[in-house]
Amino acid sequence: MRHRSIGRGSGRWPLADLPRGSGTLQSIEKVTQHMSDYRKKLIELRDSAWSDAKAILDRAQNEKRDLTSSEEAHYRDLTGDLESLRERINMVDERQRTDKTSERAMTSLLGGSSGRHVESEVGEKFRESILQRSLAPIEITIPDNERRSGFQPGIEQRALITTSGSGLVGNFWSRIQRHLVESSSILAAGATVIQHDNGEPVKIPKSTAFSTAGIVTEGSIIPTSDPTLGSITLGSYKYGFLVQISQELAEDAAFDLEGFLAEQSGVAIGNGFGAHAITGTGTGQPRGVLTDATLGVTGPTGTATSFGAQTTAGQGGDLLIDLAGSLAEPYARSQSAAWLMRNSTLNAIKKLRDSTGNYVFSPEVIPGSGSSGTLLGRPVYTDPTMPAMAANAKSVVFGDISRYWVRQVNGLRFERSSDFAFDKDLITFRGLARLDGALVDTTGAVKYFQHSAT
């Protein structure tokens, strides 16, 4: 059977072709229904691609041979389609959340005394800064109702638009936050985030071993069993980035200046901090989750650049099952239990099976999670910072990601300059964010798989 690769941006139901709301509640509801139908179609295409990919692997296994060059190429096309479809499904989930927010806001507007839309105060602040040549910094603070203890998979989006315009700064922050999470697998997977108003170092209690309980008979002395406690200090490292726009775009009222700056800011911080949150050393930078994770499973000889032979006991999918099984039950049951790896590693894992012959990977995406699918029932997140499969490399992480804490000091600060790129007539915004992070539970909350030396 010839398979036609779907490819990015193509397909029978392109996102750009979907109707958009004209500003009425009925239009929003109509678009929402179209999005629901579109999502169902994407899932059908994804399931079909996954079924075709499995058929290639099954045929080769049944005939006890390796994939031919044409089968390998076909399989790569199919896995590429799976990734493209996953991204589209995530886009639809995000669009649906936005539509629901708009629907709630529209309902509120229609029911209030004023039926008009309000302008974004944040966008106006930036435009005023541009047009008036103001050098005063613009501080984007974290709203009180956004100061929650952690990101859960599928970060919550709230309706922040009101007839009075209050909450619009919060809406801008939530847009930055969304792009930040999309660019950092640690945040997407459920890291705990704490916010402070000042950058003084903060000591966070850290457990290195738990106390134990025992049976005590009547009248006996309860034995002492103290937990082993330590502490870790979270500071604040300053991340800076530049965003440039043309003078013409900045003055164009139709240009979504707020959305552009939110996206650029979130991606810039996510890429910078996200890399340190994985492999940071803790010296002059945040301490990464992989730095303090615990060894779960070491691959046997012959798995230096792979997971070994699927037909050999203790190799292939067995290694991932053993890694998941090495985690203590409270961590394994956590809502934030997830897998981290780079995309090339995930592609290799997609070929692995369990002892019953079922594939350990499933393309099923938990709605709103931003994951690449599930592995042994838990979401898997890809990150280019994770090590590639190589001798002694720690290529796979599994654990309770909420035990990784991220400290955020205040919000984002923006300052403008017309001089920095004067010769190009570009306006430059400088953004500053202060962050730190570390794994605060080293009792085995997060474990890794390490390849063999040879």
Q: What is the pLDDT of residues 364-400, one digit of tens each?
A: 887 767 788 999 999 999 999 999 999 999 999 999 9
What would the two tokens of residue 375 be?
A: 């592995």
What would the two tokens of residue 311 be?
A: 């037909």
Q: What is the pLDDT of residues 252-284, one digit of tens each?
A: 767 777 778 888 888 888 889 999 999 999 999
What percent of the chain has a predicted confidence (pLDDT) above 90? 30
Can you list the positions of beta strands (E) in 250-318?
294-298
Residue 26 to residues 15, 95, 118, 212, 380: CA-CA distances in angstroms?
20, 17, 20, 60, 37
CA torsion sign, 44 to 50 to 51 to 52? positive
Q: Kindly tell me if the per-residue pLDDT of 142 is higher than 60.
A: no
Beta partners for 446? 399
- DSSP one-letter code for 220: P
Q: Tell if the pTM clears 0.85, that is, is over it.
A: no
Mean pLDDT of 313-337: 93
Mean pLDDT of 313-338: 93
Query: What is the spatial distance between Cα 272 and Cα 430, in angstroms, rounded to a whole number?
Result: 15
Q: Kindly tell me if the per-residue pLDDT of 21 is higher than 50.
A: no
Which has more pLDDT, 148 or 362? 362
Q: DSSP assignment of 172-213, as one string?
A: HHHHHHHHHHHH-HHHHHT-EEEEESS---EEEEEEEE----
Query: What is the spatial distance between Cα 195 and Cα 129, in angstroms, rounded to a whole number?
Result: 27
